[in-house]
């Protein structure tokens, strides 16, 4: 069961962060140089996938915590502290992802529908994506460190 949970945890991470990286590094730059409609549509359609993946990562993550072993050993090994820092970074990443998906992506859609310049929304999305990806680099390191502590 522990193995299945860590496996699902990592599949969720790959789906969420991989999808975001593709949007941020491939589709986003193309949208800023030309037509933003494909990006807007992809970002909108990607939302259910990303948030399902986030839910899987969070649920399996909490389950993984229960499988780490005795609390004294978890604290003595340093895993408890690593986990606390990781959890704060995850909260920040999820908050930024929510701002992207539920505020800026709809804003981009409205700008395109109204014939306005989508540049401001695209730039905000690009910054939010960079921040989430940067946080993910640290979160993955902490996850691996917790596993081996
Ligand atoms: C509610 C949020 C989360 C919690 C409570 C959580 C908890 C955990 C725990 C307890 C482990 C250790 C599993 C084990 O060794 O048995 C782990 C591993 C890991 N987590 Fe998370 N996690 C969360 C979110 C995330 C996120 C958002 C990412 C990446 C963006 C991530 C990436 C990883 C990675 C890469 C591992 C290492 C797996 C391994 O090396 O075996 N986690 N997580």
Cα separation, 46 vs 60, whole angstroms: 21
pLDDT for res 1: 86
Over residues 39-57, the mean pLDDT reads 96
* Nearest-angstrom CA–CA distance, 121 and 98: 15
65: confidence class by pLDDT, cuts 50, 70, 90: very high
Q: Is the pTM of this model over 0.95?
A: no
From 70-79, 96-105, 133-142, the region with the lowest mean pLDDT: 70-79
* H/E run at residue 43: helix 37-66
Q: Ligand 1 pocket check: which of 98, 147, 148, 149 to mutate, most ligand atoms within 8 Å of Cβ? A: 147
Q: What is the pLDDT of residue 106?
A: 97
């Amino acid at each position: 069961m522990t193995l299945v949970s860590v496996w699902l945890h990592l599949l969720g991470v790959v789906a969420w962060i991989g999808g975001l990286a593709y949007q941020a590094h491939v589709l986003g730059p193309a949208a800023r140089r030309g037509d933003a409609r494909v990006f807007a549509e992809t970002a909108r359609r990607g939302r259910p996938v990303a948030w399902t993946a986030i839910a899987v990562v969070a649920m399996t993550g909490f389950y993984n915590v229960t499988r780490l072993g005795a609390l004294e050993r978890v604290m003595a090994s340093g895993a408890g502290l690593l986990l606390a820092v990781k959890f704060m970074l995850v909260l920040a990443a999820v908050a930024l992802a929510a701002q992207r998906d539920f505020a800026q992506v709809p804003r981009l859609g409205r700008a395109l529908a109204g014939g306005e310049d989508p540049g401001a929304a695209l730039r905000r999305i690009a910054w939010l994506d960079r921040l989430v990806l940067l946080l993910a680099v640290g979160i993955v390191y902490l996850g691996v460190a917790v596993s081996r502590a």
